[in-house]
Structure 1
Amino acid sequence: MKSLIVSLFVLLCVVPHVFADAPEGFSAAKAVAKRHIFFDEFALEQGDLYCGCRWDWVGRSGGRIDADSCGYETRAQQVRAERIEWEHIVPAWVFGHQRQCWQSGGRRNCTAQDPVFRAMEADLFNLYPAVGEVNGDRSNYQYAMVRGVSPQYGACPSKIDFKGRAAEPRDEVKGLVARVHFYMYDRYGLSMSRQQQQLLMAWDRQHPVSEWEREWSDRTARVMGHENPFVTGAAVWTRGHRPSRSGLVSAAPETGQPASIRSGVIIGNRNSRVYHLPDGCPSYDRVAERNQVHFESEEQAQRAGFSKAGNCR
């Protein structure tokens, strides 16, 4: 009996994240991530997402950057350069714009009204500590290969193309970033451009899962209650990947409506005024991101003055 009590005490002290519950909001997610995922030396020695900087935890979910550990130099925002912030690897602006709630009132409305958005915003697989200044500079830019940009943050290798609205993370996390994108787009039925798919598939091949990424993913899975299949190898992203949409928690659809249309995002082209369904429309993933308008049903698209694309089956 005594040995059993000792064993339970050791388990509770050494592996606290085993007993955690998935967070229900972004604020809770940050605190849970600090307490159950990025809680030990193994995590801290990996450094933050963009620069590999160590940090010291301060407060409920924040931290203070050790700039000397990574050779970081402030570009412009000293206060944010000194602190850890929580980066959505797939930005809230990106996944929010694929929800109707955003069109009706932005992020605040989505947080208040849309359970799918709240799940995405609090998904721990998509959250990682980052130097606040780089997090702010990255904004909602898509990831890309950035050319012709001189070092902006001292020895920090990540680069931001402000004019081109693009960000390139350091090589050590490019594979991780790719597999987080695959997870988020698959689980929540998001639409990814062909160009972005090609880049992330290349990063996935070039930068295999590391020991830390596997451990980070395992810790996160124990909290969230499910894994990232693109880290474990249970799933592989290929061009034209059809999302599982296993994370959607919308209300039950009307009887008789095709499942692919019920759960998928319908993409309209603001120039041609036609819309494309996730199944049966060959041009679904060919609409330039700047021209995309998203709808949750054909009826909604038609009310907005859009017609179904003529090449849809």
Structure 2
Amino acid sequence: MTRFLTVTLFLLFPITALADPPPTFTSAKVVAKQKVFFDRAQSPDGELYCGCKWEWIGKSGGRINPESCGYETRKQQTRADRIEWEHIVPAWVLGHQRQCWKNGGREKCVADDPLFRAMEADLFNLYPSVGEVNGDRSHYQYGMVKSSASQYGACTTKVDFRGRVTEPRDVVKGLVARATFYMYDRYGLSMSRKQQQLLIAWDRQYPVSAWEKTWQSRTAVVMGHGNPFVTGERSWILGHKPSREGLVTQLVAHDGALLAPQSLAASGDIFGNRNSRVYHLPQGCPGYNQVSTKNRVHFSSEADAQAAGYRKAGNCR
């Protein structure tokens, strides 16, 4: 009888209903430690960029063991000593596609934009890394760095500060590609053709590892959904049309209440094209994802767009 009830309850309340995604970046770091990376500090895979082992300290922090990976400090000793949580798709990139960032930067987005908070706290985009490399990477895109000079001792991740590009070590190139695909797909972000081409190549060259599958499954339990680019349910091709699934699910508001899906359009999801002076809605407008990032103007409502002299795209349904 007990077994029957357990199966019945699972059918009535699937994993998505039982999941408890973290509402903020601060809580996401704690959850990531406790439920995803709890046993990875001494793993041979190590942290993201250099493969260093670490020792957990406090709720979500850690201290790097540089001897475990041959790490040598480039410049910032304090950050070189500690574990930080890297956004594989940087928070700067997430924010710069939101109106709130233009109105006050990251603090404004955290305070006023529930969608930004959801993106910032998405566990599929968080990975422990050496703090110094995390800082050096900044919000640079991933790419190929021509220089072969070592910047961090035996660590093979390279940062081109002048070109604003970071090339991670080979073993995680596929992982960061699939995490990037997930974020851009789920939240309807705009990715350049050049970045797409590079990440598609990395995805093919560096297939999913056993640990990446485990990372995916552990994270899925918490988030209530998986990364389809890791499970193989979805693949990225040039011109990929994002599912935007993260824009139609309930999101946690700043006070802990749930934000209804229909309220999301008021959070800055309307794109105007500064060249054509035409605006596109997130639903019903085929040209929404075709507006290049450099030409995007974000509006909180149609009224704001119209007041700024923009008209709705003629192909919107």
* TM-score scaled by length of structure 2: 0.81
- CA displacement at 1:22 relative to structure 2: 1.7
> Any gaps of 5 or more consecutive residues in structure 1?
5-18
Aligned AA (1:144): G
The aligned counterpart of 1:55 is 54
The aligned counterpart of 1:182 is 181
- CA displacement at 1:88 relative to structure 2: 0.4
User: What does the per-residue CA deviation read over 1:18-53, in whole Å, with 9 as the maximum and x for residues that have no partner?
Assistant: x87321111111011111111115873311111011
| 2:97 counterpart of 1:98 | yes
How many Å separate the matches in 1 of 2:203 and 2:110? 31
In the superposition, relative to structure 1, how do residues 185 and 42 fare at CA in structure 2: closer, same or farther (>3 Å)?
same
The aligned counterpart of 2:168 is 169
The aligned counterpart of 1:119 is 118
- CA displacement at 1:78 relative to structure 2: 0.4
- CA displacement at 1:310 relative to structure 2: 9.8
In the superposition, relative to structure 1, how do residues 43 and 200 fare at CA in structure 2: closer, same or farther (>3 Å)?
farther
The aligned counterpart of 1:266 is 271
User: What does the per-residue CA deviation read over 1:136-188, in whole Å, with 9 as the maximum and x for residues that have no partner?
Assistant: 00001111111125211011111111011111111111111111111111111
Q: What secondary structure is seen at the aligned counterpart in 2 of 1:57?
A: strand
User: What does the per-residue CA deviation read over 1:245-285, in whole Å, with 9 as the maximum and x for residues that have no partner?
Assistant: 1112465559xxxx99x99652534xx46457475449925
- CA displacement at 1:240 relative to structure 2: 1.5
Do the aligned partners of 1:84 and 1:130 also contact (CA within 8 Å) in 2?
yes
How many Å separate the matches in 1 of 2:137 and 2:119? 19
- CA displacement at 1:241 relative to structure 2: 1.4
Aligned AA (1:40): D
How many Å separate the matches in 2 of 1:32 and 1:186? 23
How many Å separate the matches in 2 of 1:300 and 1:179? 36
* TM-score scaled by length of structure 1: 0.82
Aligned AA (1:91): P
- CA displacement at 1:197 relative to structure 2: 1.1
In the superposition, relative to structure 1, how do residues 80 and 116 fare at CA in structure 2: closer, same or farther (>3 Å)?
same
Do the aligned partners of 2:268 and 2:301 also contact (CA within 8 Å) in 1?
no
Do the aligned partners of 1:189 and 1:264 also contact (CA within 8 Å) in 2?
no
Map 1:246-257 → 2, pairs under 5 A: 246-248=245-247, 249=251, 251=260, 253=262
Map 1:181-200 → 2, pairs under 5 A: 181-200=180-199
| 2:84 counterpart of 1:85 | yes
How many Å separate the matches in 2 of 1:276 and 1:297? 10
User: What does the per-residue CA deviation read over 1:111-133, in whole Å, with 9 as the maximum and x for residues that have no partner?
Assistant: 11111111111110000000000
The aligned counterpart of 2:144 is 145
Aligned AA (1:126): N
Do the aligned partners of 1:265 and 1:295 also contact (CA within 8 Å) in 2?
yes
Do the aligned partners of 1:26 and 1:118 also contact (CA within 8 Å) in 2?
yes
Map 1:28-67 → 2, pairs under 5 A: 28-41=27-40, 44-67=43-66
How many equivalent pairs are there? Answer: 288
- CA displacement at 1:194 relative to structure 2: 1.3
The aligned counterpart of 1:160 is 159
Match of 2:290 among 258, 281, 284: 284
